[in-house]
Structure 1
């Protein structure tokens, strides 16, 4: 017997967090995220809930949880983009259309009650968190900050009437030592009339202030992009909390023009390989470093952002070329990206220049409420 229920108690939240472990076998490429990170997103102290509402649901089969979903409405998004859209996220489900339909119907009812006209997802609450489901590349493990979902999810979504609204992809190059970073930017011009571009890496002594600078560049760069909502300081601190312990300052590159940060590449070592070994336990930062940082050879670009007035001048490639130089100095070999929109031709071309090829295809879906 199937039954849908809202998540109310601490025990039910723990069941919600644990549920994916029953979906993915040990041999799966899926990487269990740290429980404390997921709990932080669900907790009422999450700054999202100051401008949004949400409700988590579990579907049970004979009292055993077999699926989960989070329905939420982000009011800041509605005000900025002028669309009555509600979202679902944290979707995981057994391979059964009846279980999935109960979850989707619960999400539909929640966003309908908040006057939404569209249900879209998967989207884990804000734009800096995980989004989409995998539609290709199921044999490849995700790097840090990437999603991995079961191969039957596209069919479950289609069965309920969802259609794709955005396609994305992740890319990788397993041996960037074969790429000449200077050759990749040899034909690009620098910003004429705006001053010399100076590249520098993040200062570890001023890490928090530097990350705030990154936030400012990201907001200025992505404003107007599909679905993007400027990130406030509290949201940024929550979303980057899991990254701070694993930052290698040499992998965070800032482009400066006349003392102003105009671009940034934020990359981190791929600690998903460590999390696979620790089964999702987030260790103390010092222990985490000892456990694997010196052995890791993989790097993931979380984001690359350039202020609007400096886009199209090759600054993104200059940033990424500097990243490759620093990777070589530090002994890293492999480079991956998080998702890139399928319509983002400049970013895809930039990854082509560094010998990167598609790793995963990811999609977001929507349907009328």
Structure 2
């Protein structure tokens, strides 16, 4: 029987194998959703990705017959562990062919790496924070993959359970239609809250209008996401970097913020689905991939809810209804269903 060897990634060539291995594993699966490879190169760059400044991480490839057959990333997020007072390690970005021995070799290597660094519990798949795809998909394979969610094969969670792992938490994606008209109950709630509230909902027509609120939104996200499983607060440099990276693809029409006279107290951020464009571009932005992705976003009838939060002391005051109604109105105007 061929020997399985799990080795650390040590060269750029090996990192390339690590990044592109999932595409080989899922070759022939028409609906498999590749990552955006420009994001992958940034994610796994220990010099450019600021997350490595507060995390220890290693990348491993499993080799069989001198070919890469699996991968796994091990991770210790010291910032998160300090906040939560935990000694948890993580594994993430795990992929392999349907081979129990390869899977076992990879997860065993991860356990060994984390145990040697003093960790007492291993959780995964989980990246630096909830901004990275986390968990294994366990059902819903009849629906298209989402670029914000895992894209694993059904055999992966089964093999993880065979290793003795149990569920830590459920992560759920919801799919709902955009109603042709606002339900009466929401209309009544919107009218009541709007009439009796000092809250205003701001909408945007251009990225120039939107740009000044991006950092305040990320600051509010830090405080409102504090209890979300896996969330790690962004520092100032990370806020600026995140705003710079994602402002070009944001559609101002699908961003709403709630404000009092003095402060921003709520936000929702949605984005037209880019899944078909990413598949068509095979995850590559250049030379023509970016145009395919932008075109798919323009044609898409699906809207992805990306982020949303309300300052704790303003919850229960109808801000979610007011922002939601504005978002549904914008969705209908652009033929989202």
- TM-score calculated relative to the size of structure 2: 0.90
User: What do the CA deviations read for 1:52-80 (whole angstroms, capped 9, x no partner)?
Assistant: 11001010111111111100100000110
Alignment counterpart, residue 73 of structure 1, candidates 72, 76, 91? 76
Are 1:204 and 2:214 matched, yes or no?
no
Is 1:49 aligned to residue 55 of structure 2? no
After superposing the two structures, state which structure 1 stretch, 234-243 or 144-153, moved more. Answer: 234-243
On the 8 A contact 2:129/2:230 being kept in 1, the answer is no
Which of 263, 266, 275 pairs up with 1:263? 266
Q: Which deviations, in whole Å up to 9, do the C-alpha atoms of 1:3-32 show, x marking residues without a partner? A: 101111000110011011122243343211
Instruction: Report the counterpart of residue 166 of structure 1 in structure 2.
Output: 169
Residue 330 of structure 2: aligned partner:
326
Question: 1:202-259 CA deviation, whole Å, 9 max, x = no partner?
Answer: 4511544322121011111112333322122333455566543321101011011224
How far 1:319 moved relative to its partner?
A: 1.4
What TM-score do you get using the length of structure 1 for normalisation?
A: 0.83
Q: Encode CA deviations 1:260-308: one digit per residue, 9 max, x unaligned.
A: 1111101111111111111111257973576334322221001111111
Show the 5 A alignment for 1:183-262.
183-184=185-186, 186-187=188-189, 190=193, 196-202=198-204, 204-239=207-242, 243-262=246-265
Question: Does the CA-based 8 Å contact 1:129-1:239 persist in structure 2?
Answer: no
User: What CA distance in whole angstroms lies between the structure 1 residues aligned with 2:316 and 2:239?
Assistant: 27
Deviations 1:303-350 (A, max 9, x none): 1111111122232232122111111122222xxxxxxxxxxxxxxxxx
Superimposed CA distance per residue, residues 172-207 of structure 1 (whole angstroms, 9 cap, x where no aligned partner)? 12x4143516643534764999x5111112451154
Aligned residues: 331
Q: Distance in 2 between matches of 1:144 and 1:219?
A: 22
Equivalent residue, structure 2, for 1:39: 41
Q: Measure the CA separation in 2 of the matches of 1:20 and 1:280.
A: 12
Which residue of 287, 293, 296 corresponds with 1:292?
296
> Match of 2:320, SS?
helix
Helix, strand or coil at the partner of 2:56: strand
Cross-structure match for 2:279: 276
Matched-pair contact (CA < 8 Å) for 1:243–1:268:
no
Q: Which has the higher strand share?
A: 1
Select the structure with the greater relative contact order (CA < 8 A; seq sep ≥ 6).
1
Match of 1:94 in 2: 97
* 1:7/1:13 contact within 8 Å kept: yes
Larger radius of gyration between Structure 1 and Structure 2: 2
Contact 1:19–1:65, Cα closer than 8 Å, also in 2: yes
Aligned residue number for residue 316 of structure 2: 312
CA distance in 2, matches of 1:219, 1:180: 31
2:28 is matched with: 26
Q: CA RMSD of the aligned region, Å?
A: 2.3
1:112 aligns with 2:115: yes
* Contact kept? 1:255, 1:263, Cα under 8 Å: yes
Equivalent residue for 1:302, pick from 306, 312, 317:
306
- Cα offset for 1:138? 1.3
Question: Which residue does the alignment assign to 1:360?
Answer: none
Residue of 7, 10, 18 corresponding to 2:9: 7
Contact 1:4–1:102 (CA under 8 A) maintained in structure 2: yes
